[in-house]
Amino acid sequence: MTSSSAAPLPAHDRTGEVDGGSAAGGVDLAAARAAAVEAARLGVRMARTARSREVVETKGPNDFATEVDRAVEAAVTEVLRRGADVPVQGEELSPTEDAPTRWIVDPVDGTFNYAAGIPVCAVNVALLVDGELAVAVTAGLSAGVESGGGDAAGGDGDLPTDDVLVAVVGQGLARVLPRSEEVRTVSRVGARASAVTVGDVGWTTTGPWPAAVRAATIAAVAPAAGRVRIVGSSALELAWVAAGRTAGAVLFGNKPWDTFPGVLLVREGGGVVLDAHGEPWRPGADSVLAAADEETAAALVDAVRTGVRTAERRALG
């Protein structure tokens, strides 16, 4: 991969609206899709207009929840259950729920950014049916900055504030325009520039991706990409790959609320989703590697492997 645009995969051959009109596992996917879009938009409105972002729970170093996270999750859950009355796994209120058919919710993906007033965060929603991804929605939001009106951000691949990317399995990728019910099908996956996002270095010294391995991996990815960006929102990193804004994303984690919606968005856009070891992505993977095409995916996997080997050599002295 060079600084030129990554070559896009052929798009799913679809035009017009994505109707989401099929059923799976007894779940009406059209109703589920509509509820997911409504819920995500509600979450965006609540987060953007909240008067306080006070931290109410510290879960670990640089990992916390605000009162907004909890309020948004409760409100989003209520809307989702009107579309499909199944259990909900939410990051803040029900993280251990693991029913094979369930909603998955991250009320504010990128809470650290949100609390700091950095406008890089999103509401993330997915529906699993019998353990398989069926519906996904990612809605970008601005942390305390009113967004512009209309469709000013540009073409079909953009994901501006208040824009919603939505996918239903087998039906492609679409975007719902800001403050509108109009749906446009996203025509392709393919980066307009070869920027790649990489998960943050973090604080951990244990697990499969300790800080030293992450740092070495980032250093190895940099020469393979035109630009490397650390964003702080897994939801947006995957949505940007799906929408063709970036060439790829390497995420050092795979929590359902962080990554499952984006996995379906990238797949339905025609992209490639693996884990960072180069194996096919699965729910129990320890990482996510998404790319616009096979060539970009292979280059990123090679870079990650180089980074891991470098970190191992350094650890041995």
Question: Which residue is it, tokens 């972002």?
Answer: 53
CB within 8 Å of 17: residues ≥ 6 apart: 174, 183, 185
Q: Residue 297's closest CA among 241, 252, 255, 257? A: 241
Q: Is 98 annotated as a binding residue?
A: no
Sign of the Cα torsion 245, 128, 59, 199 reads negative
**Hey, is 245 helix, strand or coil?**
coil
* Cα end-to-end span (Å), the chain: 31
Structure tokens at 181: 């019910």
Q: Are 209 and 308 in contact (CB under 8 A)?
A: no
Q: Is 258 annotated as a binding residue?
A: yes
What distance in Å separates the CA atoms of residue 44 and residue 106, rounded to the nearest whole number?
A: 12
Structure tokens at 230: 């650390």
Q: Is 286 annotated as a binding residue?
A: no
Q: Is 106 annotated as a binding residue?
A: yes
Alpha carbon 9 to chain centroid, angstroms:
20
Binding site listing for Mg(2+): 91, 106, 109, 258
Binding site listing: 91, 106, 109, 258
